[in-house]
Amino acid sequence: MPASPVDKHLAALRACRRCPRMLKPVVVGRPVASRVILVGQAPGDKEPKLGRPFAWTAGKTLFKWFHGSLGWSEDDVRDRFYFAAVCRCFPGKRPEGGDRVPAPDEITNCSGWLEREFALLQPNLVLPVGKLAISQFLGERPLIETIGKKFPITYRGHAADCIPLPHPSGASPWHRMEPGKTLLNQALALVAKHPAVKTA
């Protein structure tokens, strides 16, 4: 059986060596031809070892959100949404602790892969997770003005709906306290009723 266009894209992505400061391997999701793209920030240190995006603590929280709003298991979500990211490699740790934020040149280098995914998948819905991912589509803006809403966007010439989600990191209390809790629930309700999700 010949490889699908998404399989071929992921094979090329796995072979990427554009950013010397990024740590390999490249982390990719399943070869899902979905009209829903979920865009994270970058893998953490556990994801390269486990071989999939959102594989650790933040992932557990993210999949709990989707189970509560959609009734889907983690496998269901991974099989129905295409998992992308602003950067696909672990950036490494900062000397003072925590993960290094990808540099502007690394974000630019990796944006070509996301552009290709938009061309391949023609998504109807984009779910950016966390501030860095949200800023790629909506610019810098406070979470309180962003979460719980649906925005029409055009990314690289492709029109889609965008429903931002906060980062499910344990380091961020935003989604666990008000108004974050209520705004998150509003966002998840918008995701659940979106036509692209109903047919995913």
Distance CA 195, CA 198 (A): 5
Q: How far apart are CA 144 and CA 86, in angstroms?
A: 22
Q: Distance between CA atoms of 30 and 53, rounded to whole angstroms?
A: 9
Omega before residue 25 within 30° of 0, cis: yes
> For residue 31, what pLDDT is reported?
97
pLDDT of residue 27: 98
- Give the DSSP letter of residue 100: P
Tokens encoding 167: 């980062």
Domain boundaries, the chain: 20-198
pTM: 0.97
Instruction: Collect the ranges in the chain with pLDDT lower than 50.
Output: none
**Secondary-structure percent of the chain, ordered helix, strand, coil, rounded to 5:** 40, 15, 45
Closest CA to 152 of 164, 166, 141, 140: 164
- Work out the number of other CB atoms within 10 angstroms of the CB of residue 110: 24
Cβ–Cβ < 8 Å for 138, 163 = no
What's the pLDDT tens digit per position in 107-128? 999 999 999 999 999 999 999 9
Burial of 133 (0-12, 13-18, 19+ CB in 10 A): buried
Report the CATH number of the 20-198 domain. Answer: 3.40.470.10
3-state secondary structure of 27: coil
